[in-house]
Amino acid sequence: MRSIRRGPRKSVSQRESGDGLDELRMAYYAGLQRERVHLAALSAALARAEENPVWIFQELKFRAHKIRSGAAIFEIAEVGAAACALDLAATSAMMSKAKNTDDAVWTALVALVRSIGDLDDGYDPARFPWLI
């Protein structure tokens, strides 16, 4: 079976600004701000949960995994790391049937919301020269 790789990958510094991904990057950054709103709503639901909050942990895991994937594609390390931490914490909380006060979930959730908030201005190629 042949490899689908045709040659060496271009390094980030070798990419041209007209790589066709600028629109996708802008859309991803806008989507991150919408995800931030969803995460805030989920944190409110988690704080109010009196019974088993497994559905909230599942939703947090799903959203964190999605954010993590996009952050890897667009090389946003801080958001990716925070999303990975939430993904793992939510998985652990689901498996252990944790309560709504699970420290690891809350710590990771706050970190992810903050890291997305740090990108509040959206995608600006001048702020991220390694992407162009």
Residue 129: how many CB atoms within 10 A of its CB?
Answer: 10
CATH number of 21-124: 1.20.120
CA dist 32 and 67 (Å) reads: 7
- Global pTM value: 0.76
Give yes or no for a contact between 93 and 57, defined as CB atoms under 8 angstroms apart: yes
- pLDDT tens-digit map of 51-99: 889 999 999 999 999 999 999 999 999 999 999 999 999 999 999 999 9
